[in-house]
Amino acid sequence: MTPDRTHLPLRHARQTRGFTLIELLTVVAIIGILLAILLLSMGRVRESAQKSACIANLRQIQAANMLHAAENKGYYVRIKLNGAWWNVQDDFLRYLNAEQKGYKVDHNFVEPLKCPTAVTGILVNITNVWEKENFPGYGYSPAGATDDKTGTGTFTAVNQNNIANPAKGIAFSDALDFQFYQAPKANYKWDNERKTSVTWSYRHRNGRNVVYFDGHTAYLPAP
d(CA 190, CA 204) in angstroms, rounded, equals 7
Q: What angle do CA 55, 56, 59 make, to 5 degrees?
A: 85
pTM: 0.79
CB 75 within 8 A of CB 101: no
Burial group, residue 217, by CB count within 10 angstroms (0-12, 13-18, 19+): middle
* C-alpha of 87 from chain center: 16
* Of 84, 92, 83, nearest in space to 110 by CA: 92
pLDDT at position 172, please?
A: 98
Q: How does pLDDT run along the chain (223 residues), one tens digit per residue?
A: 555 555 545 555 455 566 787 878 888 888 888 877 777 666 676 778 889 999 999 999 999 999 999 999 999 999 999 999 999 998 898 888 754 444 444 456 778 899 999 999 999 999 999 999 999 999 999 999 999 999 999 999 999 999 999 999 999 999 999 999 999 999 999 999 999 999 999 999 999 999 999 999 999 999 9
Measured CA to CA in angstroms, residue 15 lies from 12, 18 at distances of: 9, 9
